[in-house]
């Protein structure tokens, strides 16, 4: 079982791309993901949605990106309005008591940007993923 906690990083100012609250995002993902994927809105200042499935992390991330793109297109956005990026990191240490993100969960930041390369450079992504297990981090574009 793979468990993601999703956050949203909207880097684009556009009438076609509005910020999403947890309920809107959860409903939109449910509408575009297979029924084998469980989606739940969460009440947290950073994490918006919990997604669970019996899929490998990279497969679940690809499914989420595809569903996210379909959600945006169904609201009138086009592929040219932004580039999608999913940056995931597995929590390998013990989570704090009561914290939403626990050991073996994945924190996944879904970024909507005009330029993925520039965004990754701006957050110093290469340095951020150093020291992490190769199977404990991913970067996918969709």
pLDDT of residue 43: 95
Q: Considering the entire predicted model, what is its pTM? A: 0.94
pLDDT reading at 98 higher than 90: no
Which comes out higher in pLDDT, residue 76 or 4?
A: 4
pLDDT of residue 16: 83
Q: Maximum CA pair distance of the chain?
A: 42
CA atoms within 13 A on the CB side of 65: 24
Dump pLDDT digits (tens) for 33-89: 988 999 999 999 999 999 999 999 999 999 999 999 999 999 888 878 899 999 999
Based on the number of CB atoms within 10 Å of its own CB, is 26 exposed (0-12), middle (13-18) or buried (19 or more)?
Answer: buried
Number of Cβ within 10 Å of residue 6's Cβ equals 26
* Virtual torsion, Cα 129, 135, 138, 142, nearest 10 deg: 160
């Amino acid at each position: 079982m793979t468990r993601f906690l999703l956050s949203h990083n909207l880097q684009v100012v556009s009438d076609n791309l509005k910020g999403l609250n947890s309920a809107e995002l959860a409903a939109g993902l449910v509408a575009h993901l297979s029924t084998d994927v469980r989606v739940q809105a969460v009440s947290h200042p950073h994490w918006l949605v919990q997604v669970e499935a019996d899929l490998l992390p990279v497969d679940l991330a690809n499914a989420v990106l595809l569903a996210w793109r379909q959600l945006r297109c169904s609201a009138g956005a086009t592929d040219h309005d932004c580039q999608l990026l999913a940056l995931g990191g597995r929590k390998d240490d013990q989570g704090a008591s009561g914290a939403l993100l626990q050991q073996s969960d994945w924190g996944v930041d879904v970024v909507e940007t005009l330029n993925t390369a520039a965004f990754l450079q701006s957050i110093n992504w290469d340095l951020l993923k150093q020291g992490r297990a190769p199977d404990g981090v991913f970067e996918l574009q969709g």
